[in-house]
């Protein structure tokens, strides 16, 4: 027999406007312009430009349209943002790895057939610069896709030409070939010749760090082997990343500009965060006109509803942009206040431990809001451009009872490893004791975690002869 059960529950539901505001808040400056452009295209009631005073004297709220459908119930948001914010325009590089290689291919005097084969090979090169697809499979791709019948020997010949392109090492099929290509393209020295021999004949021993075997076979001393090893480690194992990294960095647009001037900290929003938007005067007048017309007419009623919806949406969007500006500034001001000494001196050791909760409590906002502001945002300081995430770190207690930021501990850890004897590197246990001797109360597993985050291998792999 079925039972009827009555239960109560509380659920938090966000309105469509709130969801859109959250999305607006978390997008970086580079994407905000595109979002505004999209809104201008879909909403004719929204225009670019500054509001005029006479338009502000006739607010939308005074118009009588209560008899009509209200599908866009927005909410008012607080106003106010800094005037005349500065603008930073980045220099954007849009050339991808594939485009760069195709451009270089065009400089070779190849036949139409060879050019098509070369284009297919370049298309098979992955983002890191390697071509891992077997040449036999590329032959099949050419046969089925472009009706070009070739063999591995012809492909190998054209690939050799591509492997001479920039960046050095491009088009390699494995790490060994990548390093050899870079050495062949470099200067002809004693180090490069020995490095070439080691990679061609003793690559397995080199990769496993069996230096004693290499020494015996080549009959070289410790100093020479060390010099050759350092030469090889300076080569780039992922040549394709050189171009992709440059492109990614070029798109970084700072959301804030912080300057220390005459003993005061100036915090300004990038002007791209403060666009000039206004509500269309013609749409407002249209609403006023239709509201005085025959409300029983179905066509007029539908038109009036459409106009009102677009005006409400435009007003909400303008308020949401202003609220975004205010929230960004409030959060940045709190970060600067928290990390004031860093913004004055640019000294990384001056950074204090700070987590999202600390900032949320300081500005009386939800942690999720602070997280959305910190994510994908950056600030230009007198010492360079930093992502906001850079200023957040956990605290490690010290013997003096104060907290040190995890970044400070990492810097100390890195310094200890840099100063260690390379023939007898410190183990994690030893590093733990050295850090405790400097006053940092830290566990060995935390030492291992920080070491891995710094990209430093274990002691066994750091050992050099």
Q: What is the reported pLDDT for 130?
A: 92
Q: Which of 411, 409, 265, 276 is nearest to 342 (CA)?
A: 265
For residue 93, pLDDT over 70 is answered with: no
Q: Answer whether 129's CB lies under 8 Å from 236's CB.
A: no
Identify the burial level of 303 via C-beta atoms within 10 angstroms of its C-beta, where 0-12 means exposed, 13-18 middle and 19 or more buried. middle
- pLDDT band, very low/low/confident/very high, at 242 (cuts 50, 70, 90): low
Which helix (H) or strand (E) segment holds residue 449: the answer is helix 444-453
- pLDDT band, very low/low/confident/very high, at 316 (cuts 50, 70, 90): confident
For residue 310, pLDDT over 60 is answered with: yes
Q: What is the reported pLDDT for 151?
A: 92
Q: What is the reported pLDDT for 153?
A: 92
- pLDDT band, very low/low/confident/very high, at 121 (cuts 50, 70, 90): very high
Summarize the confidence of residues 31-58 as an average pLDDT. Answer: 72
Top-confidence residue, 51 or 21? 21
For residue 92, pLDDT over 50 is answered with: no
Share of the chain above pLDDT 90, in %: 8
Give the 3-state secondary structure of residue 323.
helix
> pLDDT by residue (tens digit) across 366-392?
888 888 888 778 888 888 888 888 888
Report the alpha-carbon distance of residue 205 to residue 199 in Å, rounded. 9
pTM score of the predicted model = 0.47
Report the alpha-carbon distance of residue 338 to residue 333 in Å, rounded. 9
Please provide the average confidence, as pLDDT, over all residues in the chain.
Answer: 77
Q: What is the reported pLDDT for 81?
A: 36
Summarize the confidence of residues 433-453 as an average pLDDT. Answer: 81
Q: What is the reported pLDDT for 397?
A: 54
Summarize the confidence of residues 347-375 as an average pLDDT. Answer: 82
- pLDDT band, very low/low/confident/very high, at 63 (cuts 50, 70, 90): very low
**Dihedral sign from CA coordinates of 345, 348, 354, 360:** positive
Which helix (H) or strand (E) segment holds residue 267: the answer is strand 264-269
Q: What is the reported pLDDT for 80?
A: 37
């Amino acid at each position: 027999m079925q039972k009827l059960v009555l239960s109560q529950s509380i659920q938090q539901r966000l309105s469509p406007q709130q969801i859109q505001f959250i999305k607006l808040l978390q997008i970086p400056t580079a994407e905000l312009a595109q979002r505004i452009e999209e809104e201008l295209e879909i909403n004719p009631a929204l225009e670019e430009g500054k509001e005029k005073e006479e338009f502000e004297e006739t607010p939308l709220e005074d118009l009588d349209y209560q008899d009509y459908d209200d599908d866009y119930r927005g909410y008012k948001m607080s106003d106010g943002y800094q005037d005349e914010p500065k603008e930073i325009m980045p220099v954007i590089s849009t050339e991808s790895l594939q485009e760069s290689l195709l451009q270089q291919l065009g400089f070779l005097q190849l036949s139409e057939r060879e050019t098509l084969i070369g284009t297919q090979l370049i298309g098979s090169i992955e983002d890191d610069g390697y071509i891992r697809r077997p040449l036999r499979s590329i032959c099949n791709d050419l046969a089925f896709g472009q009706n070009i019948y070739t063999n591995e020997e012809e492909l190998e010949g054209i690939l050799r030409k591509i492997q001479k392109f920039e960046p050095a090492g491009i088009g390699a099929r494995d790490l060994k070939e990548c390093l050899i290509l870079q050495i062949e393209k470099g200067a002809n020295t004693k180090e490069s010749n020995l490095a070439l021999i080691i990679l061609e004949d003793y690559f397995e021993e080199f990769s496993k760090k069996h230096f004693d075997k290499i020494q015996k076979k080549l009959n070289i001393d410790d100093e020479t082997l060390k010099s050759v090893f350092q030469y090889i480690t300076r080569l780039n194992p992922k040549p394709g990343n050189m171009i992709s990294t440059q492109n990614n960095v070029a798109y970084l647009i700072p959301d804030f500009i912080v300057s220390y001037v005459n003993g005061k900290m100036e915090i300004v929003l990038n002007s791209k965060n403060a666009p000039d938007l206004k509500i269309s005067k013609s749409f407002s007048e249209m609403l006023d006109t239709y509201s005085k017309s025959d409300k029983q007419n179905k066509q007029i009623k539908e038109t009036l509803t459409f106009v009102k919806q677009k005006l409400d949406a435009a007003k909400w969007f303008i308020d949401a942009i202003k609220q975004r500006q205010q929230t960004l500034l409030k959060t940045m001001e709190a970060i600067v206040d928290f990390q004031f000494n860093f913004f004055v001196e640019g000294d990384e050791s001056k950074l204090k431990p700070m987590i999202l909760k600390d900032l949320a409590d300081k500005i009386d906002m939800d942690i999720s809001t602070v997280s959305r502001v910190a994510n994908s945002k950056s600030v230009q300081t007198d010492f360079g451009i930093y992502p906001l995430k850079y200023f957040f770190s956990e605290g490690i207690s010290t013997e003096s009872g104060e907290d040190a930021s995890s970044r400070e501990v990492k810097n100390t850890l890195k310094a200890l490893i840099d100063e260690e004897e390379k023939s007898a590197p410190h183990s994690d246990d030893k590093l733990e004791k050295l850090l405790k001797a400097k006053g940092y109360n830290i566990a060995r597993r935390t030492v291992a975690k920080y070491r891995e985050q710094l990209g430093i291998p274990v002691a066994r792999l750091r050992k050099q002869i």
